Amino acid sequence: MNMLTRAANFGAEFARMRMTQQCRVTMLVLGEFDHATGDYVDDPVLLYEGPCELVSRQAAAKHSSSGERDLVLSQPQLRIPAETPGAFPPGCEVVVTTANGDVRARVIAEEQRPHRTARRFQLEVLE
pLDDT of residue 61: 56
Mean pLDDT, contiguous 10-residue spans, the chain (127 residues): 68 74 89 79 88 78 60 77 89 89 91 81 88
> pTM for this structure?
0.71
Closest listed residue to residue 122, CA positions, set 106, 102, 112, 108: 108
Q: What's the pLDDT at 19? A: 84
Q: Return the ∠ at Cα 11 (arms to 122 and 123), rounded to 5°.
A: 10
Instruction: For 1-92, list the strands marked E by DSSP.
Output: 21-34, 39-62, 71-81
Phi, psi of 48 (to 5 degrees): -160, 140
pLDDT of residue 23: 94
